[in-house]
Structure 1
Amino acid sequence: MTPEASIFAIAAVAALAGLIVATHAALTGWRGWLDLRRIEIETRRDVAAPSPGARIELADLKERIRKLEAIAAGVEL
C-alpha cells in the first residue's frame, strides 16, 4: 500500500467514524424529543376533556341524582 493510499484509507475511516458519532448523537436527540412530545401529549390527555364513555357515565349519574332529588321532594316523574 502506498503512503497516499494509507492516508486516504485513514481519512475515510475517520470520516466514517465521525459520521457514526454524528448519527448517534442525532438519533439520541430525536428519541429524547419524541419522549418529550409523548409526555406532553399524555399530560394534555390527562387534563383534556373526559372520554365519551366517561361523559355518558357522568350524564347518567346526574340524571339519577335528579330522579332521587325529585323522589325526595315528593315530585312524581
Structure 2
Amino acid sequence: MTNDVNLYITMATASLAGLGMVTAAGLSGWRSWLSLKREELHGHQALNAPTTDGGAPSVASRIELADLKERMRKLEAIAAGVDL
C-alpha cells in the first residue's frame, strides 16, 4: 500500500516538473519570437527614411544614402575592370 502512494507522489511530482519545463521552454520561445518581430518592425521603420521637416529626409539618412552610392560606384568600377 505504501509503495502505491509513493509511486503516485513520485509520478505527480515528475509530471509537474515536466510540465514546468515545457512551460518555461514555451515562454522562452514566445519571448524570442516577440523579440524577433520587434526587431523586424524596427528594421522596417529604419528603412523608411525618417523625415525631419515636411518631407525632407534626415541628415543621417542622406549620409547613409551617399555612402551607399559611393559603394555602388566602387563596385561598378571593379566590375568594369577600372583600377581605383
Q: Normalised by the size of structure 2, how large is the TM-score?
A: 0.59
Q: Could you give the per-residue CA deviations for residues 3-24 of structure 1, whole angstroms, max 9, x where no partner exists?
A: 1110000000000000010001
Shift of 1:50: 3.1
Query: Which digits, 9 at most, give the CA deviation of each residue in 1:1-46, with x for residues without a partner?
Result: 7111100000000000000100010011001001100100000001
The alignment partner of 2:54 has SS state of: helix
CA RMSD, 1 decimal: 1.8
Structure 1 gaps of 5+ residues are 59-77
Which residue identity is paired with 1:43?
G
* Counterpart-to-counterpart distance in 1, 2:26 and 2:55: 46
Q: Aligned to 1:27, what secondary structure does the other structure show?
A: helix
Cα distance in 2 for residues equivalent to 1:32 and 1:25:
11
What is the rounded CA distance, in whole Å, between the counterparts of 1:55 and 1:28 in structure 2? Answer: 42
The alpha carbon displacement at 1:56 in A equals 1.2
Partner of 1:36: 36
Paired residue for 1:24? 24
User: Among the aligned pairs, what percent are the same residue?
Assistant: 38
For 1:5 and 1:17, locate their aligned partners in 2 and report how far apart those are by CA, in whole Å.
Answer: 18
Tell me the matched-pair count: 56
- The residue identity in structure 2 corresponding to 1:2 is T
If each structure's strand is expressed as a fraction of its own residues, which one has the higher value? 2
